């Protein structure tokens, strides 16, 4: 089940994840939100929380 979050403006976003390779060769997982449901859908990982910008409703994922 993919994680969904509705922001203060009433818009529902879906959490997605993607593995990227950094310049140094290290592999890292990035998390991002989209309005549509995608195949990259992901659950909210343990130790992370959703943070909302109060000015524009933009969502980010950060460590607790």
pLDDT digits (tens, 9 = 90+) for 39-53: 999 999 999 999 999
- Over range 6-31, report the average pLDDT: 96
Residues 16, 61: Cα–Cα separation, whole Å:
11
42 and 17 Cβ atoms separated by less than 8 Å = yes
**How far apart, in whole angstroms, are the C-alpha atoms of residue 56 and residue 39?**
26
Q: What's the average model confidence in pLDDT over 21-42?
A: 96
- pLDDT of res. 1: 72
Question: Does position 36 have pLDDT exceeding 90, yes or no?
Answer: yes
User: Is 39 within 8 Å of 28 (Cβ atoms)?
Assistant: no
Six token digits for residue 3 = 């994680």
């Amino acid at each position: 089940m993919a994680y969904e979050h509705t922001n203060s403006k009433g818009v529902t976003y879906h959490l997605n994840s993607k593995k990227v390779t950094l310049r140094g060769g290290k592999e890292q997982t990035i998390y991002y939100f989209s309005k549509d449901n995608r195949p990259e859908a992901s659950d909210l990982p343990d130790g992370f929380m959703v943070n909302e910008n109060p000015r524009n409703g933009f969502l980010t994922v950060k460590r607790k």
